[in-house]
């Protein structure tokens, strides 16, 4: 999961830099923010589940593993909500459509990379 978050941040940084150099600084900032709003909670989830202080394994720890996933997913959800609220409250100028499109594309990258890593 941390590899996926790193790839997401790299891609969103490259796209944002290209947009900025094309003379679209507001679009670039909005795209970057949308990608970060997707990648950072994803990194939190990956760290919490796979590299956290309470790593569980084995059949006897199945309940603890599920609980760990629930806690990580809850934290990811809260970080995403708080991130969107903070961005829309504090960042001006901002292109909301670009934020959501970038967030959605970043999610698509996450799903594609996760599917590829499973194979």
Q: Is the pLDDT of residue 9 over 90?
A: yes
Residue 74 in tokens: 């809850």
As for how many domains the chain has, the answer is: 1
Domain that holds residue 76: 2-118
| pLDDT tens digits for range 44-81 | 998 888 776 566 666 666 777 788 889 899 999 999 99
Question: Scanning the structure block, which residue is given the tokens 């309470």?
Answer: 54
How far is the C-alpha of 52 from the C-alpha of 45, rounded, in Å? 10
Does this model's pTM top 0.85? Answer: yes
């Amino acid at each position: 999961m941390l590899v996926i978050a790193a790839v997401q941040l790299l891609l969103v940084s490259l796209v944002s830099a290209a947009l900025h150099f094309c003379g679209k600084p507001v679009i670039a900032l909005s795209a970057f923010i949308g990608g970060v709003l997707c990648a950072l909670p994803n990194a939190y989830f990956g760290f919490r589940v796979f590299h956290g202080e309470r790593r569980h394994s084995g059949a006897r720890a199945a309940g603890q593993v599920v609980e760990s996933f629930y806690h990580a997913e809850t934290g990811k959800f809260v970080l995403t909500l708080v991130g969107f609220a903070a961005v829309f409250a504090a960042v001006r100028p901002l292109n909301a459509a670009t934020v959501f499109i970038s967030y959605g594309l970043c999610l698509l990258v996450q799903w594609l990379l996760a599917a590829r890593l499973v194979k």
